[in-house]
Amino acid sequence: MKKYVAILLSVVFIVLVFAGCGADKTVPSKSSHTADDFQITVSADDTVYKKSELSENKPFKVTGEIKYLGDEAVTIYHGDPVFVIGLDGLKTKDGADYTSAVQNDILKSTEILPGETLTFEWTGEADYENIGGFDKGTYTVNAFYNFRIGEDGERVSGSFEIPLTIE
């Protein structure tokens, strides 16, 4: 009898595991964390797109935000742009790897007031045009930021990854 109960419980467990595999596969489309006096957030309008619905003028929308939580204005020093967003896994039509996210080394400075948010948007329009569209597949949106508080101050940097699927 104990043997049958053990077998029954095993079968129930396996059924529950497989039932969970078909459950909601939603992936986070917004992620945030705090570094020093800054709240950094990246969000995507969606993480699954139909290839037939993408166009040069309407690919994706991913937004990066750096919100200053401090009490006094500060100047940050950074490359251009301070928040870089791009899509990893892209290939050109001839099969070569395509780099989507690029940050210029030019040192810039930006004054940020208390409560102010710097917003950066990536739509993929230039990438879509440069490689002639996006193929079906799974990609990763990479978003990273890197800046110093004050000219010789503390470095604030980090990154986010959001999986993106084109069906």
pLDDT per residue rounded down to tens, the chain (167 residues): 444 433 333 333 333 333 334 333 344 578 888 888 999 999 988 889 898 888 878 778 899 999 999 999 999 999 888 888 888 888 877 788 877 766 666 789 999 999 999 999 888 888 888 888 888 999 888 898 999 999 888 899 998 998 989 99
pLDDT at 70: 95
Instruction: Count how many domains the chain has.
Output: 1
Would you say residue 110 lies in a domain? yes
pLDDT at 6: 37
Within 10 angstroms of residue 96's Cβ, the number of other Cβ atoms is 9
Would you say residue 41 lies in a domain? yes
Would you say residue 52 lies in a domain? yes
How far apart CA 88 and CA 139 sit, in angstroms, is: 6
pLDDT at 28: 56
pLDDT at 103: 65
Would you say residue 38 lies in a domain? yes
End-to-end CA gap in the chain:
49
Would you say residue 5 lies in a domain? no
Would you say residue 9 lies in a domain? no
Would you say residue 17 lies in a domain? no
Which stretches of the chain are DSSP H helices? 2-21, 125-131
32 closest CA partner among 167, 166, 164, 162? 162
Structural domain range at position 99: 28-166
Instruction: Provide the CATH number for the domain around residue 140.
Output: 2.60.40.10
The one-letter code for the residue type at 77 is: Y
63 closest CA partner among 132, 166, 167, 160? 160
Would you say residue 19 lies in a domain? no
- Listed in sequence order, the residues at least 6 apart from 13 whose beta carbon sits closer than 8 Å to its beta carbon are none
